[in-house]
Amino acid sequence: MTNSFQVGPGGRLEGRLRVPGDKSISHRSIMLGAIAQGLTEVSGFLEGADAISTMNVFRALGVRINGPDAGRVLVHGVGMHGLAPPAGVLDCGNAGTAMRLLMGLLAGQRFGSTLSGDESLSRRPMRRVSEPLIAMGAKIETTGATPPVHIAPAESLRGIDFLMPVASAQVKSAVLLAGLYAQGETSVTEPAPTRDHTERMLGGFGVELHREGARVTLRGGQRLRAARIDVPADISSAAFFLVAASIAPGSDLVLEHVGMNPTRTGVIDILRLMGADIEVLEPREVGGEPVADLRVRAAALHGIDVPAELVALAIDEFPVLFVAAACAAGRTVVTGAGELRVKESDRIATMADGLLALGVDARATADGMVIEGVGGAQPAFGAATIESHGDHRIAMAFAVAALRASGPIVIREVDNVATSFPGFVALARAAGLGIGQVPA
């Protein structure tokens, strides 16, 4: 049996809150800490199912990890070649980031491994990761380009100069991690900027990288040194509250210690272009990552054509941005977001179906959506039961929509919200959202 959200209509958000730690950084802290020499100390670790899956994979690879305990984790690094052959299949759960980055990291090991995942992850494409790794000499097999992923020991990897056909931080990261084990230099050139947590964290672990425009290069054979990592609050999780406070009249909310990496702030840029009132307070740097507090107040939003250069920088935030667009005055057009078709669900189709069920004039396109927003303070959505298809970001996006609904919204299959945002219901309710979780 799966659970559902039931969210009452209306309300406003106020006060101060801190969302859980950044999922991308949490994944990488375990991975790089595991292959570093010495003890890596992590604070602010996201205790969600996806990040725990990464932790369990590395325990299965012989790495001793203490925690998590209130966000604190100790990773006893085994060095570049200290991972042990696993006794069985490595289960990534629902964590696509874990699987794709692990493909790069495990491609250069002296033992074979198999990566599997849950039903949702088992449908997600892996070919765009496996193809550049195979070009480096990796021996990787999948079934129909989807998991499980079988990795055989490779005699050696060789560095490549890879021009990415589609912007993807996960593909970039997988190639760079494999490059640590490759002979010579490995370079990746992006067609558009993507999140750079891997490059920043590699530098923090002592790896020398060279950046030149859209190209990043590293030399194989470098050793990693243990580091201390303070994980900021996840801007992808904060995005639900940025939109919620923007669309709910009378809202005034402060989000604390939010990661402000410039490759992740596309959601703020897009909302500001739509007229959102978002103030950056006390910008600072913690552990090599910029952070700040964000104050967001209700504002009259208007539709926009989302600039192409911002799409890759906000790819995970589009489900809730589509909700903002439905509340904005006029038309919002999103193009160049075809990546949304291959997330935990087809997020373009799933969001379009849900918006239509709520009475929104929304039209899905091959790589985006066209939404006719209603504007004003009147309800933008009707009452309905929404199918999330087990996608955590879809579920949370439609929970936010209830703030501007004329009746209750029920969202089905919400268990996977715990993969990225444990405690979402309690935090949202404390901020002013009339949300509860009920058995389906």
68-123 confidence digits (pLDDT tens): 999 999 999 999 999 999 999 999 999 999 999 999 999 999 999 999 999 989 99
pLDDT at 435 over 80: yes
Pairing between β-strand 72-78 and β-strand 329-334 as defined by DSSP bridges: unpaired
Residue 314 is predicted with a pLDDT of 94
Amino acid at 404: R
pLDDT at 287 over 80: no
Closest to 24 in 3D by CA, of 177, 168, 149, 196:
196
Domain 3-21+233-439 of CATH type 3.65.10.10: yes
Residue 438 is predicted with a pLDDT of 87
- Active-site pick, 316, 353, 367, 415: 316
Catalytic annotation on 361? no
Which H/E stretch holds residue 348?
helix 347-357
CA–CA separation, 182 vs 173, rounded Å?
14
Domain extents in the chain: 3-21+233-439, 23-230
Measure CA of the first residue to CA of the last residue in the chain; give whole Å: 7
Q: What is the mean pLDDT of residues 382-400?
A: 97
Q: What is the mean pLDDT of residues 355-381?
A: 96
pLDDT at 43 over 90: yes
Backbone φ, ψ for residue 302 (5° rounding): -135, 155
Q: What is the mean pLDDT of residues 49-71?
A: 96
The pLDDT-based confidence of 143 (bands split at 50, 70, 90) is confident
Closest to 93 in 3D by CA, of 140, 129, 48:
48
pLDDT at 256 over 70: yes
Same CATH topology for 3-21+233-439 and 23-230: the answer is yes
CA–CA separation, 419 vs 67, rounded Å?
17
Q: Is the peptide bond before 319 cis (omega within 30 degrees of 0)?
A: no
The residue whose two tokens read 């989807």 is 146
Amino acid at 278: I
Residue 1 is predicted with a pLDDT of 61
344-354 confidence digits (pLDDT tens): 889 999 999 99
Fold of 23-230: UDP-n-acetylglucosamine1-carboxyvinyl-transferase; Chain (3.65.10)
Residue 440 is predicted with a pLDDT of 67
